[in-house]
């Protein structure tokens, strides 16, 4: 196995660009998107049980996705024993830009793992790193730490303790994202000066090439041997604190260089609070290994700290009963619209063309850093790659322990969803219409719900018909299905959280949807750092910021309580002043309770 010192310095530009659809396929996609609008309209407005119908359709699509994913694995297993590997060799030749030294070999699911984080709790970080020791098919481990100050040394120490052998730590002098941005801007400036039309693709390719060269140079300076019995198998990169997108970019560039040396075709990407199971990497990558059109995949998630607080118990029920199903809607067509950050796999040949456009994304005139996982997925879909959701594979992630942190996380995720769903309409032209249908349901369903609630609150009239039995049927059907088919098997003590988890998720959802739409340009990591000293600092955030982040929830709880009080007052036949007292008291109690568990608790 060669070391960076022995390898050729010259990288050629990657030529793999995905698989763009034909003109006829584009036309069919457009017609399918147009047809999905009246289908969604009639299945909701003109259905007696729209919520029940929706869950039945979702379950059917989930089962279809499970069937297709299993078929992908079986096809990959058969390819291991097939004497002809022509397609596999063609892919190797296409990615001549990076795998210069990798010789054609049998299909396999070997991968390297990249785990990024910022000031993670040391004990949790240690558990996360330890889990990779038993992960099948993981041949190289890369840790990325977003910070190089004294407080960040804890994570470095954990890395050295977990991987005491065949490992090293490298300080990155300048974040590679900044290098890429500077060279890209300089290249486009030169194009303008020379009177040449600005070619962003060319500028992206040049800046990507420079980052790859710089990463190779850094490895050479440290005289590292990658691979082999005595070579480095665990590498920790640390750089000046920026944001998650910044450390991800650096880690991915180094992953491309190291994978070139090792002849690895796949990258597993995760967060510093995620614990993987022995088959998490292998079974996720197996879903894309035999499909040259598949650029990425992600697995399902469970919560590993579910017993910590009431909020984590409720969040765990949400992951089990809701997210498992909702993420499966477009997945059966290979158009999963979000590769979840904690559990994502990439075909490395898909990354060179998308990393710089992903990192330099601009929306509303500013750089975006809140939608790192969704924008990676969007870039894959735009270039014709399939994205798979392996719903029957699990990894365990950490969830916020308080209501305030949970809501901040949900708002951050919703902002990223809006940015990718509403500001990148081209993705629906090149993808299956089911992606558009899923977007319409996800984006406008909660918004319509918020409008209906507020309409009744102010007018006393129903905007849409609401049936209590419809919601009851929906909860019963989804719960029974999950008990039978969900890979995550609940313990007996967790069953009591299922129904409260439905209310925990769906009552704030309309408010989260509307507020996140109004504040799409806000940024940040989304959740605070968890090192003990920084948690104390986070508690001292100003009341003004707390109201900006969470005030919408306090107001919304008051509106919801007012609607419930109005319905009961009408049912009981109260006179107008009794009705007003009932509404005002209910709103006051609900708003106080909302403030108490969010703003009051974070002050």
- Neighbour tally for 87: CB within 10 Å: 13
Whether 328 and 58 have beta carbons less than 8 Å apart is answered as yes
Is pLDDT of 16 > 70?
A: no
Question: Is the confidence at residue 98, as pLDDT, over 60?
Answer: no
How high is the mean pLDDT of the chain? 86
What pLDDT does 175 receive? Answer: 94
Instruction: Supply the pLDDT for residue 97.
Output: 37
Of 354, 338, 384, 156, the residue nearest 253 (C-alpha) = 354
Give the range with max mean pLDDT: 101-110, 196-205, 267-276, 413-422.
Answer: 267-276
Torsion on CA atoms 172, 285, 67, 86, rounded to nearest 10:
130
Q: Is the pLDDT of residue 547 over 90?
A: no
pLDDT attached to residue 107: 59
Position 397 scores a pLDDT of 94
- Say how far apart CA 495 and CA 194 lie, in whole Å: 67
Mean pLDDT within 449-465? 87
> Which DSSP letter does residue 320 get?
I
- In the prediction, which pLDDT does 328 show? 83
d(CA 388, CA 286): 11
DSSP designation for 321? I
Phi, psi of 59 (to 5 degrees): -65, -40
In order, the DSSP letters of 441-484 are HHHHHHHHHHHHHHHHHHHS--SS---HHHHHHHHHHHHHHHHH
Share of the chain above pLDDT 70, in %: 89
* Residue 85 pLDDT: 45
Q: Which of 368, 342, 365 is nearest to 357 (CA)?
A: 368
Rounded Cα distance, 341 and 345, in Å:
10
Strand, coil or helix: what is 565?
Answer: helix
The first and second tokens of residue 89, run together, are 């060799």
- Identify the band that residue 83 occupies on the pLDDT scale cut at 50, 70 and 90: low
Sign of CA dihedral 191, 195, 196, 198: positive
CB 270 within 8 A of CB 40: no
Q: Report the C-alpha gap between 114 and 371 in whole angstroms.
A: 18
- Report whether pLDDT(94) > 80: no
Residue 473's pLDDT is what? 93
pLDDT for residue 67:
93
Q: Could you report the per-residue pLDDT of 158-177, keeping only the tens digit for each?
A: 999 999 999 999 999 999 99
Which letter does DSSP use for residue 335 in this model?
B
- Cα(152)–Cα(239) distance, integer angstroms: 10
Q: Which residues contact 517 (CB under 8 A, 6 or more apart)?
A: 414, 418, 447
Residue in this structure with the two tokens 């735009």, named with its chain if needed: 382
Q: What is the pLDDT of residue 592?
A: 95
Q: Is the pLDDT of residue 302 over 70?
A: yes
Spatial CB neighbours of 551, under 8 Å, sequence gap ≥ 6: 599
pLDDT band at 524 (very low <50, low <70, confident <90, very high): low
Binning pLDDT at 50, 70 and 90, where does residue 314 land? very high
pLDDT at 99: 36
Distance between CA atoms of residues 14 and 152, nearest Å: 35
pTM recorded for the entire structure: 0.87
Q: How far apart are CA 584 and CA 461, in angstroms?
A: 19
What pLDDT is stored for residue 6 in this prediction?
Answer: 44
Element (H, E) at 386: strand 386-397
Residue 429 CA to residue 382 CA, distance in Å, equals: 9
**pLDDT tens digits, one per residue of 488-510:** 988 888 899 999 999 999 999 99
Q: What are the chain's domains? A: 49-444 (3.90.550.10)
């Amino acid at each position: 196995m060669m070391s960076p010192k022995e390898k050729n310095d010259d990288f050629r530009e990657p030529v793999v660009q995905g698989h763009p659809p034909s003109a006829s396929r584009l036309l069919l996609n457009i017609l399918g998107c147009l047809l999905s609008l009246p289908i969604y309209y009639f299945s909701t407005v003109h259905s007696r049980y729209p919520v029940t119908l929706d869950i039945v359709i979702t379950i059917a699509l989930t089962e279809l996705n499970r069937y297709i994913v299993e078929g992908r694995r079986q096809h990959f297993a058969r390819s291991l024993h097939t004497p002809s590997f022509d397609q596999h060799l063609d892919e190797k030749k296409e990615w001549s830009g990076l795998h210069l030294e990798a010789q054609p070999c049998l299909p396999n699911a070997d991968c390297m793992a990249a785990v990024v984080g910022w000031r993670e709790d040391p004990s949790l970080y240690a558990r996360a790193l330890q889990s990779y020791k038993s992960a099948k098919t993981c041949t190289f481990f890369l840790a990325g730490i977003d910070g190089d100050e004294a407080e960040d040394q804890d994570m470095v120490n954990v890395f050295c303790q977990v991987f005491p052998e065949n490992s090293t730590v490298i300080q990155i002098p300048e974040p590679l994202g900044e290098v890429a941005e500077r060279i890209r801007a300089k290249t486009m400036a030169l194009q303008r000066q020379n009177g040449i039309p600005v070619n962003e693709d060319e500028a992206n390719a040049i800046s990507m090439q420079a980052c790859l060269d710089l990463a190779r140079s850094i490895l050479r300076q440290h005289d590292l041997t990658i691979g082999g019995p005595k070579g480095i198998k665990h590498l920790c990169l640390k750089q000046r604190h920026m944001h998650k997108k910044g450390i991800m970019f650096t880690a991915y560039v180094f992953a491309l260089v190291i994978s070139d040396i090792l002849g690895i075709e796949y990258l597993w990407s995760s967060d510093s609070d995620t614990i993987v199971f022995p088959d998490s990497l292998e079974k996720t990558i197996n879903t894309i290994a035999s499909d040259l059109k598949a650029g990425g995949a992600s697995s399902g998630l469970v919560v590993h700290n579910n017993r910590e607080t009431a909020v984590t118990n409720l969040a765990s029920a949400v992951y089990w009963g809701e997210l498992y199903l909702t993420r499966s809607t477009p997945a059966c067509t290979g158009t999963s619209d979000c590769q979840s950050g904690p559990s994502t796999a990439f075909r490395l040949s898909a990354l060179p063309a998308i990393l710089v456009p992903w990192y330099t994304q601009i929306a509303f005139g500013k750089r975006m850093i809140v939608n790192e996982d969704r924008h990676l997925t969007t870039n894959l879909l735009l270039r014709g790659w399939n994205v798979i959701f392996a719903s029957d594979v699990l990894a365990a992630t950490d969830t916020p322990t308080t209501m305030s942190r949970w809501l901040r996380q949900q708002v951050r995720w919703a902002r990223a969803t809006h940015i990718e769903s509403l500001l990148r309409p081209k993705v629906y032209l090149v993808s299956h219409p089911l992606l558009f249908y899923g977007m319409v349901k996800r984006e406008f369903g909660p918004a319509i719900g918020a409008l209906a609630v507020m309409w009744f609150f102010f007018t006393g009239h129903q905007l849409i018909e609401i049936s209590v039995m419809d919601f009851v049927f929906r909860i019963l059907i989804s719960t029974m299905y999950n008990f039978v088919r969900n890979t995550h098997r609940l313990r007996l003590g967790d069953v009591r959280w299922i129904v409260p988890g439905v209310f925990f998720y769906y009552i704030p959802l309309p408010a989260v949807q509307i507020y996140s739409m109004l504040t799409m340009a806000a940024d940040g990591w989304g959740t605070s750092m968890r090192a003990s000293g920084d948690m104390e600092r986070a508690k001292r955030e100003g009341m003004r910021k707390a109201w900006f982040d969470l005030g919408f929830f306090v107001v919304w709880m008051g509106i919801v309580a007012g609607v419930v009080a109005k319905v009961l007052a009408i049912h009981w036949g109260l006179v107008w002043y009794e009705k007003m007292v009932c509404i005002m008291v209910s709103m006051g109690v609900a708003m106080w309770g909302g403030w108490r568990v969010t703003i009051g608790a974070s002050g």
